[in-house]
Amino acid sequence: MGVDSASMSEARHPAAETSSTAHSYNVRICHWINVVSCVYLLWSGVHIFLDFPELYWGHTGYRGYPAAFRLADWGLSWEEAGALGDRRWGRNYHFTAAWVFLINGLVYVVWNLYASHFRNRMWPARDERTVAHVRAELRDHLRWRSHRRANDSYGTLQKTSYLILIFVFVPLMILTGIAQSPGFTAAMPTLLDMFGGRQTARTLHTIGTLALVLFVVVHVLEVAAAGFFVKVRSMITGK
Amino acid sequence: MSTRMSRRTWLTTSVPALGGLLLTGCSRETFVPPRVRGGLIGAADVLTMSTNRLLLSGQPLAREYSRADVADPFPTWNQTNPRNPEYQRHASEGFKNWRLPITGLVARPRDFSLDEIRRLPARTQITAHICEQGWSAIGEWTGAPLQRVLEEAGGVTPTARYVVIDTFDGWYEGYDLFEVAHAQTILAYGLNGRDLPRGNGAPLRLRVERQCGYKNLKFLKSIRVVDSMAGIGKGTGGINSDFGFHWYAGV
């Protein structure tokens, strides 16, 4: 099979940039609730981190214990970071936003499993799972061109990254989050063994946050490359 | 016939089980903080606490570690030496005249000397102290189960709902009876095989291993058993929740 060169060149044509496959109600509502909850999760998480700006590996970590990362080594002292971070605000909003994120995510996943959204729109088709196809798509991305086929709005790389995000990355973020909780770990001690300790979970949760921020940056750049106004409008109105 | 039998078996086993759940732990206090905050934050508080309590309904133990994992000396944090003159006097006397009164809704209110608490059956547990700020350290705690201490005072009366602990540094916290009944909820007088150091809360501190550090009060002064947290402090159930932190600190 290989690359469908006709549709690729069509996708590069300016006229094709304005057409966009409609997003369902569910996808649109969940997307924006997700944006709000993720902004709160990030911001409150930063506040929590600043109040104790060191990371460790294993089960133990406290001030004076060998650290994997110390913000003080990067120019912001413990006291300066503590003055910026408000963990009371941070904890209150982090756990509230986490519930909103979790419930919204469950609604999204269950609804779209029921609506076959993942199978129809996210699972790469056979002809998209070829090296040549992915290579051509990657080349387009690097040239700042959005690859879009005529009747299918998601590219293979896009599909793959969304699937990994939803079904691998997000569950890992939730698990590394609750692996820090004394209540959840008492109920499910496996959480501690899964990551090799509470402090490791905290460190991985922080690294995961950075990865997620990177994902959002690339995501927004991709939206910009595909036509920011059209894409954002379609995620709001569905047209 | 066989379905009828299985239905009967199901009924005969599930009804007493449900009854037991209702009798032992299925009260509002087990799932909902004493005062629910407004808005989404309050809804999240209730979700967090009820989810935790459902998962913990079998009262599993928090992870216990080995001696090799212990932090010695154990880190100190926040208050390490209350300036309260009464506390200073007790400390200078080696806590010989210190007494822990247990008042309120118990059958026989009384007080305990440190030796009396030490003479009760002891429990030693190597557990992680998990600060809500993000740090954690493992210590070997030795003490008397709080439930056992309350039983020495005749046990709590049927209207009892919360156990309130007051400390020499002016802190107080309320604990629901589900938390109190847990095997690892102990009044600790020993840390890492020695007397509890002053920096870690001498003479006696509370260990609630399934909640964050701020619920593990140090420098205990007195215990009272109450039917409601209303009218104590700001009425939220503890000094930390008076300040705006979570009352249930399982996360």
Number of domains in chain B: 1
Within-domain flag for B54: no
Q: Is the CB of A183 less than 8 angstroms away from the CB of B135?
A: no
b (16+ CB within 10 A) / e for B149-167: bbebbeebeeebbbbbbbb
Among the listed residues B220, B154, B166, the one whose alpha carbon sits nearest the alpha carbon of residue B189: B220
Q: Where are the beta strands (DSSP E) in B134-228?
A: 136-145, 162-167, 172-176, 186-191, 194-195, 205-207, 220-226
Q: What are phi and psi of A200, to 5 degrees?
A: -60, -45
A203 to chain B, closest Cα gap in Å: 10
Within-domain flag for B141: yes
Within-domain flag for B225: yes
Q: What is the pLDDT of residue B39?
A: 95
Give the span between the Cα atoms of A55 and A61, in whole angstroms.
Answer: 7
Q: Which among B71, B244, B250 has the least Cβ separation from residue A181?
A: B250
Within-domain flag for B33: no
Which residues of chain B does A49 touch, with a Cβ-Cβ cutoff of 8 Å? 134
The pLDDT averaged over each successive group of 10 residues in chain B (251 residues) is 48 51 69 96 97 96 97 92 97 97 98 98 98 96 98 97 97 98 98 97 98 98 98 97 97 95
- Residue range(s) defining the domain that contains residue B68: 63-242
Within-domain flag for B151: yes
Among the listed residues B109, B178, B176, B179, the one whose alpha carbon sits nearest the alpha carbon of residue B149: B109
Token code pair at residue A158: 């896009």
Quick check: A199 and B69 in contact, CB under 8 A?
Answer: no
A216 to chain B, closest Cα gap in Å: 26
Among the listed residues B200, B245, B242, the one whose alpha carbon sits nearest the alpha carbon of residue B218: B200
Rounded to two decimals, the ipTM of the complex is 0.89
Within-domain flag for B15: no
Q: Is the CB of A87 less than 8 angstroms away from the CB of B133?
A: yes
Q: What is the pLDDT of residue B18?
A: 53
A105 to chain B, closest Cα gap in Å: 16
Give the span between the Cα atoms of B205 and B219, in whole angstroms.
Answer: 6
Q: What is the pLDDT of residue B5?
A: 47
Within-domain flag for B36: no
Instruction: Provide the CATH number for the domain around residue B164.
Output: 3.90.420.10
Within-domain flag for B21: no
Give the bridge partners for B137, in sequence order. Answer: B129
Q: Which among A60, A87, A100 has the least Cβ separation from residue B136?
A: A60
More confident: B239 or A157: B239
Which residues of chain B does A180 touch, with a Cβ-Cβ cutoff of 8 Å? 130, 134
Annotate A63-114 with DSSP letters as a single string: TTSPPSEEGGGGT--HHHHHHH--HHHHHHHHHHHHHHHHHHHHHHHHHHHH
